[in-house]
Amino acid sequence: MEAESAPTFLQPEFLKKLERLRLIAKRLSWSGAKGEHPSPRKGFSLEFSDYRKYHQGDDFRYVDWNIYRRLERLFLKLFTAEEEMNVYLFLDTSRSMAEGSPPKIEYAKSVAAALGYIGVKNLDRVGAAAFSFDLISPLALGRGRKQILTLFTFLWNLSCQGETDLETSVKSFSSLFPRPGLVVLLSDLFDPRGWRAGLEGLLKKKYQPLVIHIFDKAETRLDPWGDVSLLDVESERERRFFLDDDLVQRFHEELQNYFEEIESFCLSRQIDYLRTSTATPFEDFVLLTLRQVRSVR
């Protein structure tokens, strides 16, 4: 495989950036199920929690002998089992995601690759799926180095096609992945049927959604060009009109209302929401912006 023909997340420069994430993977962990409460099931690791006095019959393997040497008293270490977390990467691969410079889908793939890497480093089970008018290409949950390589191959093979139907796609997703977990939705949220029903569908299935709203800066700028013809890349419907200053102002107002409506909806339902431009370096988004949400700590 030649480096110049490989997608961004398979190029040597990207892989070097992922190695930087190794340093923060243990500190950047998904909240919700992991490490917050003692688990009745055996976890993949034990995290030190507290001490208590030794009682007859306790396992000597958990005695802190350093304390005994100093105080000549027996204390037991207490541990919290870290319960396994399912992390689902849910990528929009409708035709509108192919737009932008760089294309929104390539940005989504890079972020998904980085988050999948962090999830595996945190000993979580990571799965993925793509969608447009319905679920397209699922990747079963897995863990370990093999899952990272499988995820990268999965992302590499994704292409954009079809119109967006988030609600139908979420229904198919929940049927295929019924186990609860963190669902990271990476999308431009351009859905002619609306994005509300899809997000509500994730909540009904008791997933913990994290919405990463991706846009290209060119989509937020409009100039008074006079007579124009605009083509909807998904439906392929064409519309002609005269683009003057008043219409440009109305466009910017509607766009701002659109952003605020999504933010308000997510806030009211405790859905973590982040909006990012493809102009933001993905490593800055992962290492800095992502820390603002409750799903990540």
User: Is residue 178 over pLDDT 60?
Assistant: yes
What is the pLDDT confidence band of residue 135, given thresholds at 50, 70 and 90? very high
Which 3 state secondary structure label does DSSP give 37?
coil
User: Is residue 66 over pLDDT 90?
Assistant: no
Nearest-angstrom CA–CA distance, 271 and 189: 15
Mean pLDDT of 230-243: 75
CA 207 to chain CA centroid, Å, is 13
Nearest-angstrom CA–CA distance, 281 and 181: 27
- Report the topology of domain 3-31+85-292: Rossmann fold (3.40.50)
pLDDT tens digit sequence for 246-285: 888 888 899 999 999 999 999 999 999 999 999 998 888 8
Mean pLDDT of the chain: 82
Q: Is 144 left (phi over 0), alpha (psi -120 to 50) or beta?
A: left
- 214: closest CA among 86, 107, 85? 107
The residue with greater pLDDT, 283 or 155, is 155
| Residue 217 and residue 279 in contact, taking contact as beta carbons nearer than 8 Å | yes
Share of residues in the chain with pLDDT > 70 (%): 80
Mean pLDDT of 55-83: 76
Nearest-angstrom CA–CA distance, 10 and 234: 28
User: Each residue of 26-65: b (16+ CB within 10 Å) or e?
Assistant: eebbbbbbbbeeeeeeebeeeeeeeeeebeeeeeeeeebe
- pLDDT of res. 20: 64
- 99: closest CA among 234, 192, 239? 234
- Is there a cis peptide before residue 102, judged by omega within 30 degrees of 0? yes
Pairing state between β 208-215 and 182-187: parallel
- pLDDT of res. 26: 46
DSSP 148-203: HHHHHHHHHT----S---HHHHHHHHHHH--S--EEEEEE----TT-SHHHHHHHH
| Residue 58 and residue 154 in contact, taking contact as beta carbons nearer than 8 Å | no
Give the containing element (helix H, strand E) for 254.
helix 245-268
User: Which residues are registered as beta bridge partners of 296?
Assistant: 30
153-158 CB contacts, 8 Å cutoff, 24+ apart: 154/128, 155/7, 155/9, 155/91, 155/109, 155/112, 155/113, 155/128, 156/6, 156/7, 156/9, 156/10, 156/109, 158/91, 158/93, 158/105, 158/109, 158/130
Copy the structure tokens of residue 130.
């793509």
User: Is residue 34 over pLDDT 60?
Assistant: no
Q: Is 87 left (phi over 0), alpha (psi -120 to 50) or beta?
A: beta
- pLDDT of res. 43: 38
Q: Where are the domains of the chain?
A: 3-31+85-292, 46-81
Cα–Cα distances (Å) from 252 to 215, 248, 275, 280, in that order, read 14, 6, 17, 21
Instruction: Give the residue ranges of DSSP H helices in 1-144.
Output: 12-21, 65-71, 104-121
- pLDDT of res. 21: 62
